[in-house]
Amino acid sequence: MLLKKLFKCLTLYYVNCLLPDMSSTAFIEPLPVIDFVAQLLNRDISVRPLSDSDRVKKKKALRGVKVEVTHRGNMRRKYRISGLTSQATRELSFPVDDRGVCKIVEGQRYSKRLNEKQITALLKVTCQRPQEREKDILQTVHHNAYHDDPYAQEFGIRIDERLASVEARVLPPPRLKYHDSGREKDVLPRVGQWNMMNKDFALEPVLPPVTARPDHVERALKARYQDAMSILKPQGQELDLLIVILPDNNGSLYGDLKRICETDLGLVGGRNTVLVDALTRRIPLVSDRPTIIFGADVTHPHPGEDSSPSIAAVVASQDWPEVTKYAGLVSAQAHRQELIQDLFKVWQDPQRGTVTGGMIKYGNFSFLSRGQLDRNPRGSYSTGMVSVRDNSIKVLLYELDAIRKACASLEPNYQPPVTFVVVQKRHHTRLFANNHNDHRTVDRSGNILPGTVVDSKICHPTEFDFYLCSHAGIQGTSRPAHYHVLWDENKFTADELQTLTNNLCYTYARCTRSVSIVPPAYYAHLAAFRARFYMEPDTSDSGSMATSRGPPGGARSSRVPGSVAVRPLPALKENVKRVMFYC
């Protein structure tokens, strides 16, 4: 089931603006629970017992859902499902009708992750081309007749029924560098995308052939890994990449694969492209002095999973001046805790006394270990930091202080200038071209061109922020990312930071397209999401607290004063931490 509704927000820019937009969400169909499970598993559940994977899937789907009992006549008492028994139904006995007596309560929003089929169906219904979306917004505003609204009149508010007109400019795409052995050594993207034909990767990865049986994932993977290492180790080589073809979109199997490969076996990787401007030292500020770019994000469990930890992730660039490879760390922390607790840590060690650590300190150490000292004229740590955070401005004071303390613990008087930027896409601002038929200002989907930036009128009148649409539209209406600079000791100009941000969006490792948010923030989100697969399969699916599979001291966790301690995630292999394991 799908519900679409109008979203309205009164926002203060240079003037007060109303942001009308359409929002959509999925609802759970009010079915008998038995029918719901049959639809979920896509089979008749009365024919044969449920497998372990079926029970896990059912548990994840039903946990937290409200049901009403139907066997008490008019007394429709409602309950919330907190869990499922591990006993088979044949072992349970109580008087009951042939059919189940629990029915899902109507009107419940589905807050869990949709599967591939559901996402496809949702996109078909909700995706609107820019011209259609603009038309619907204008029709809704006209229908609401705000000029006759008594509340608006009482407050002296007058709302124009036309869209606001803003000035924008389109930043040029950067030229991308490939390996010199290819027939084409570089490429200039067109409308936010490019083709990989006739190009070689910048650092060619090794792809040894492997096979694995999905019904014995862990044993098969480890056996194949040992077989490969028996050949590679005498040659002084490591197994860099495992290619596993899954039988279907099975989230549990995918999670098992990632957990085994990254916490037990270890992976390393290559790099697809670099910016030509990086090689020729033309990136604003970053090319002038050794600079680390950090990305950070926190992901939270689904609503209803009250005991699951939140997962924090930080990635740090390792290959100045190219800034295309990012080492990553993940950490479990208190439920729904938005501030990253492990940026800087202090603890007492029986042998070493007071010890400091944390994600920022590890990022700097990793930066040094990748040979950056050879390129750094100071022979020290980075002389500049840019931190990109996917969240609200409330994180600034706490996390900037943690960055300062982490730097001071590395070296006396080490205080590099820091630029702290928040990027958000959870907003309802949309940008439309003045003329949808002008092919010079729109892409093939009818969206504004990639690289379109707006930094006036709809932005803050005194602070440093801008909207950047760095990607080409595929379907629906493109949503620009909103970048808000909360702290800037590097003294970026608007042109410099906007150009740096747009150029970095072309270095995303997963695809040959520019992406909608700057890759460090994107990578941090992927790393935090990936870490949920590292929890034990049972606890991850039931939503209970994660348990540790990693060695003491190797895993990371956090605790907020007055809260229950969170058990750490399994420790990543050291060679995995240094590479982009989350891609």
Are residues 258 and 288 located together in one domain of the fold? Answer: no
Task: Identify whether 20 is preceded by a cis peptide bond (ω within 30 of 0).
Answer: no
Distance CA 113, CA 123 (A): 14
What pLDDT, on the 0 to 100 scale, is given for residue 542? Answer: 38
Report d(CA 53, CA 252) in Å as an integer.
8
CATH number at residue 95: 2.170.260.10
pLDDT confidence of residue 500: 93
Q: What stretches of 170-294 show up as alpha helix (H) in DSSP? A: 217-232, 251-260, 276-279
Q: What is the three-state SS of 95-146?
A: CCCCCCCEEECCCCECCCCCCHHHHHHHHHHHCCCHHHHHHHHHHHHHHHCH
**pLDDT value at position 96?**
57
In a domain, 183, yes or no: no
**Structure tokens belonging to residue 361:** 């300190």
Q: How far is CA 533 from CA 3, 398, 541, 546, 549, in A?
A: 30, 28, 10, 10, 12
Instruction: Tell me how far apart the alpha carbons of residues 510 and 507 are, in angstroms, rounded to a whole number.
Output: 9
pLDDT at 380 exceeding the cut of 60: no
Of 115-124, 164-173, 375-384, 440-449, the least confident = 375-384
**pLDDT at residue 165 is higher than 60:** yes
User: Does the structure show a pLDDT above 70 at 209?
Assistant: no
DSSP classification of residue 442: B
3-state secondary structure of 348: strand
**254 pLDDT higher than 90:** no
Q: Is residue 233 located within the same domain as residue 322? A: no
Say if residue 485's pLDDT is above 80: yes
Mean pLDDT comparison of 73-87, 378-392, 429-443, highest-scoring range: 429-443
In 390-527, at which residue ranges do the beta strands (DSSP E only) sit? 418-424, 452-454, 464-469, 481-488
Same domain, 418 and 329: yes
Whether 492 is in a domain gets the answer yes
Residue 185 lies in a domain: no
Rg (Cα) of the chain, in Å, rounded? 26
- What phi-psi label fits residue 515: left (phi over 0), alpha (psi between -120 and 50 degrees) or beta? beta
What pLDDT score was predicted for residue 186? 83
Distance CA(491)–CA(285), nearest Å, equals 9
Number of independent structural domains in the chain? 4
| pTM recorded for the entire structure | 0.78
Q: How far apart are CA 180 and CA 162, in angstroms?
A: 52
Closest CA to 423 of 482, 358, 360, 463: 482
> How far is the C-alpha of 183 from the C-alpha of 199, rounded, in Å?
7
Mean pLDDT for 65-81 is 87
Domain boundary among 270, 299, 325: 270
For residues 242-260, give the mean pLDDT.
Answer: 70
Q: 165 with 434: CB under 8 angstroms?
A: yes
pLDDT at 134 over 70: yes
User: Which residues span the domain enclosing 38?
Assistant: 33-108
Say if residue 78's pLDDT is above 50: yes
Per-residue pLDDT tens digits for 220-240: 778 778 877 887 788 887 776
Mean pLDDT, range 269-293, rounded to an integer: 68
The share of the chain scoring above pLDDT 70, in percent, equals 76
What CATH code is carried by the domain that includes residue 264? 3.40.50.2300
Residues 38, 59 within the same domain? yes
Q: Is 60 exceeded by the pLDDT of residue 540? A: no
At residue 279, the pLDDT reads 54
Tokens of 475: 């379907």
Structural domain includes residue 181: no
Q: Is residue 352 included in any domain, yes or no?
A: yes
Residue 371's pLDDT is 46
Query: Would 564 be classed as within a structural domain?
Result: yes
287 and 382 part of one domain: yes
Read off the CATH number of the domain in which 286 is found: 3.30.420.10
Q: What is the pLDDT of residues 396-423, one digit of tens each?
A: 889 999 999 998 898 888 889 999 999 9
User: Is 94 in the same domain as 136?
Assistant: no
Distance of CA 89 to the CA centre of its chain: 39
Per-residue pLDDT tens over the stretch 85-108: 877 767 777 665 556 778 899 989
pLDDT score recorded for residue 52? 82
Return the H-helix or E-strand segment holding 563.
none
Look at residues 232, 249, 270 and tell me which one is the last residue of a structural domain.
270
Q: What is the dihedral of CA 270, 326, 328, 334, to 10 degrees?
A: -140
Mean pLDDT value across the chain? 79
Please indicate, yes or no, whether residues 324 and 397 belong to a single structural domain of this protein.
yes
Query: How far is the C-alpha of 355 from the C-alpha of 350, rounded, in Å?
Result: 10
Residue 464 belongs to a domain: no
What is the DSSP pairing of strand 102-104 with strand 16-18?
A: unpaired
Average pLDDT of the residues in 374-392? 58
Following DSSP, what letter does each residue of 188-224 receive, concatenated?
--BTTB---TT---SBPPP-------GGGHHHHHHHH
Q: From the CB of residue 173, how many other CB atoms can be counted at a distance below 10 Å?
A: 23
The pLDDT value given to residue 466: 97
